[in-house]
Copies of this chain bind each other. A is one copy, B any other.
Amino acid sequence: MNIRLLQLPERTAKPRQYGLTMVMDKGLSIREAEDMLSASADYIDVVKLGWATSYFFPRLREKLAVYKEAGIPTYFGGTFFEAFIVRGQFDDYMRLLEEYDMEYVEVSDGSIEIPHDEKCAYIQRLAQSYRVLSEVGSKDAEKILAPYQWIELMQAELGAGAWKVIGEARESGNVGLFRETGEVRQGLVKEIIHSIPAERIIWEAPQKSQQVWFIKQVGANVNLGNIAPNEVIPLETIRHGLRGDTFDWFLHKSK
């Protein structure tokens, strides 16, 4: 738009290192992916092909090309990595990454249990050829880590070469960083923010109330993930204080 609103928060611009929006594609058709990009490519920094959905997608190479042409990197969800690891097929996973010409890779242990130094060894090895996102937090609602544990794990994974660490929440936003109701574990998140640079963390925050909380807490440019395709533009309005939820907050802040 030519006509501009005054006093908007400063947003980082592409290619962003901070202020990232990571979208979850859990099986979009090629045309649906194109549609999403035609409306909101400017606001999407990276696309995760959710968990193992890629395994069942019939024209994966073609879809990856659509994202590549739009300049948006993609990666397979961590559960896919774990499915290979648990079967002793890490070499097959390496071949897969090569065959599909991936540039990013996720390393996670949300569904499997592996010693943390082993996880870090995977990060280290993959970081030689790929940009690694490593995820902390279990998909199991009963496995609760203390804040200091989250922080130690994150620091070790960044130390092993991860580009960003991801705070687990699943597609639904009700484990890891969040209670079963979707409510943010505020004490946990504040502890993490206190110890890890905000630029290095991507917070999975699929629900609007979660996005609002992180933006108010960390700022317009907090890195957020697991955003649904049709929520990218709505998220951008929340970041800018142009939706009811952050309208007031931003105006007070900018005074």
Contacts and interface: CB of A to CB of B under 8 A. Distances in A.
Interface string A131-143: 0000000010000
Contacts of A139: 244
A41 to B, nearest CB: 8
A57 B248 CA distance: 23
A27 interface: yes
A99 B42 contact: no
B55 A242 contact: yes
Interface string A90-102: 0010011001000
Interface residues of A, number: 64
Q: How many copies does the complex hold?
A: 3
A35 B29 contact: yes
A48 interface: no
Interface string A23-36: 00011111110111
A28 B39 contact: yes
Contact of A55 (B1, B28, B50, B55): B1
A18 interface: no
Interface stretch (A76-84, A121-129, A144-152, A153-161): A76-84
Contact of A237 (B43, B53, B60): B53
A5 B39 contact: no
A76 to B, nearest CB: 11
A57 B2 contact: no
Given A26-B234, A51-B244, A247-B111, A58 B87 contact: no
A6 B247 contact: no
A188 interface: no
A186 interface: no
A193 interface: no
A87 B240 CA distance: 14
7 contacts: A5-B55, A32-B39, A38-B58, A39-B57, A51-B237, A56-B237, A111-B247
